[in-house]
Structures are given as structure tokens and as C-alpha cells.
Amino acid sequence: MNCSASLLPSGTAGAELAEQFRVIAEIGGDIAFSIDCASCALLYVSPSIEQLLGYSPADIAAQLGDAGSALAALCAGMPERVRRLRNGDRSRLRLVRETELRGAHGYLVPVEVLSALVCDAGGEPVTLVGQVRDLSPRRQREAERKRFASMLNHEFRTPLSTIDGAVQRLEATCQDADDATRQRYRKIALATDRLIAMLDDYLSPDRMAEIGGERKPTSVAPRELLDEAAGLVRAAGRVVSVEVGELPDMLRCEPDGMRLALKILVDNAVAFSPETTPILLRGRLAASGIELAVRDHGAGVPLDEQARIFEKFFRGRNADGLPGSGLGLYMARSIVEVHGGVLSLVSPAAGGAEFRIWLPVAGAGKAPLRPQASSDHAAPAADAPAATGRHQ
């Protein structure tokens, strides 16, 4: 094997590109390699491969053609990729795979292999070039994150279980207590239940097992979000109306996060509007982005509370005696802002409250405008009357 061989087959320009590819890969700490498509012979591999796997470049060259060797994964499937490319199928021109290579020491080393077929001027695939990235540090970080989350789960759950047991005992033995005292016990019990449920949702072993698994989707159809939100309204026994204008096919976001934000707004509308009134969901293009809105026909948000409606732990005066922690709208706003959007409140002239999620979408509009809303709250329209009797 010639460790200084060109990664591209011919020409000074090709050799220069090959050298640039090698330097970029190796500066980043990755291992560069190049394999001849016709013979499956190794043209080049970074000397640092020996530190990762314990094999010298000469060992790699000797074993690469052996289908049973631990290193065959570097060029696995190359003949089929070449055949497809010759038939016009470019779907496997570039590939990213995670696998494990068994090193000379006998241990499996997790790696990510990025590879691409390089063609000559006539379109004939001649060289497979690629990079090998050691995934061990990433796997270690994931394991440490899981251990940390499990520790948090235990440290939080132990005192919560103590509180839960004490409150249950107080409730069972408080026959002579006044109503106010019993209500306090009940609030403590409900708050403890919510905190334990949050531990199960975010720090449970099952939840931690998802970390490092299959890559979660990074986009979702806006219409799908609205349809799912409408299902939540119907599940609560309420009438829902969905208005959908022009929307992009897909929205780049963290789908579960956006579902949670909409669920919070839907739960809010269901809880604080009359059961006989419908809830409106709306989606449309708006100012270089999209707008998803949840509208109810309740009492609305009092004017003097609108400036604080998205604050952490804030609860409006009409939420007294109702379940809640004052974190819902704060969480929804935080999720939206992480996506570069705005969550705002509008008080319609006809009454009720409308919460609007604005999210940026590339190409959704010509003017790079954003809704007139601060990161904390949006003022009601100038012609909107002051609303009264609303919650947080």
C-alpha cells in the first residue's frame, strides 16, 4: 500500500483535491481512507487508524479484501453501489453508517463511516473515499447522561415518596381538620403526583433508554400538528373547529416539543372556557413563517394580568382552587422560543383568548418580518376591549 497515494485517480487537480480531503479529515481527528473501485485495493488510510484499531496501514491493506475480516465494513456493499450508480441510481452515492469494528486487541470499537463514490470525467465510479469517526466519546457521554438522569430520578423520587406517604397519612387522619387544612393537604398531594409523573416522563429508565437510539424526526407536517391538537379537544368531549389556510408541507422543528406546546394551549382552552362553546384551531402563513393558533370563547385574560401571563409560576386570580402549577404557558413559550418563534396572546374583540404560535419558515414570505410581540407576552390589539376573569 502506498500511504501517499492520490485519493483521486488521475491529474494534478485530482491529487490536490485528494490532499485537501485528507488534510480536512485528519485535522478534525477523523481517519481518511480511499479504496479503488475496480480492485477493492486500499489506496490510502490515515496512519492514526493504528491508534484506533491496533492495525497498521499495511494490515488494513492486507485484510480489506477478505469478506470475513473485521475491516471489511469499510468497503461493504461497494460493488452493489457501483452497479446502481452505473444504472443511474444515485441514492447510494454517499452513505453514512454506524457500525462496530473489531480491533487487533479483540474489542469492538463503535465507529461512524462516511463514504462517497468519486467518478471520473465520464461518470464512471473509480474511487471510494471516506472518513472513519470514533464514536466512543459520544457513547461515553450518552452513558454518563443516562447515569446522571438516573441519579436525579432517584434523588428526587426518594423525598417525593416521603412527602407523598406523609400527606396520605395526614389525609387519612384529618377527620377533625377544617376545610382549609384538608384543601392544603389535597394540593400537596396533587403537586406531588405531578412531580412524580414528570420524573416518569423525563427521567425514567425507559425514557433514558431512548437516548442514543434511533434518530428522532426533525420535521413534521403543520397540518398533522393541528389534527392531533383537534383530537385532544375531541377527547375532552368538546367541539372543535379547524381552519387551515396555506401551509408548508413540512415544518422543521422538534415534533414532540411542538406537540407539547400545543397540548398546553389546548388544555388551557378546555379548562377555562364553557363546555358548550367550541374551540378554534387555525393554521396559516404569516410574516415569513407560519402561525398556529388556539382560540377559546371563555372569559379572557384580565388586562392587568396579560403582562405576566407567561411568567414562571404565575397564576391568575381566577385559577384559585383549580389544579395547576403556573408552569404551563411558561413551558409552552420556552419551547416555541427555542425554535426561534414567538408565543403571543391576543384578546379578540368578541371575547375569549387566542394564543398564537409563530414559527419561522424559510421561503414562507417575502418580507423578513416577525409578529409584534415581545419574548414574554404580546399586548392585545389596540381596538380590543379589556378581558376579565381569565386564568393562567
Domain residue ranges of the chain, discontinuous segments joined by +: 12-134, 139-210, 219-360
pLDDT tens, position by position, 243-286: 999 999 988 888 888 999 999 999 889 988 899 999 999 999 98
What is the grid cell recorded at 1? 500500500
Rounded to 5 degrees, what are φ and ψ at 330?
Answer: -60, -45
What is the sign, positive or negative, of the torsion defined by CA atoms of 15, 16, 20, 26?
positive
Q: How open is the CA angle 195-197-198, to the nearest 5 degrees?
A: 65
Residues in the chain: 392
What is the sign, positive or negative, of the torsion defined by CA atoms of 199, 200, 203, 205?
positive
- What pLDDT shows up at residue 8? 41
Instruction: Report the topology of domain 219-360.
Output: Heat Shock Protein 90 (3.30.565)
- What pLDDT shows up at residue 283? 95
- What pLDDT shows up at residue 21? 62
- What pLDDT shows up at residue 131? 85
For residue 387, give the nearest of 356, 351, 354, 355 by alpha carbon: 351
Buried b (16+ CB within 10 A) or exposed e, 28-52: eebbbbbbbbeeeebbbbbebbbeb
Q: Which residue ranges in the chain fall short of pLDDT 70?
A: 1-28, 65-72, 201-217, 316-325, 362-392
Looking up cell 394540593, which residue turns up?
A: 187
Q: Which CATH architecture has domain 12-134?
A: 2-Layer Sandwich (3.30)
- What pLDDT shows up at residue 276? 93
- What pLDDT shows up at residue 233? 94
The HSE-up count of residue 223 (CA atoms within 13 Å, CB side) is 8
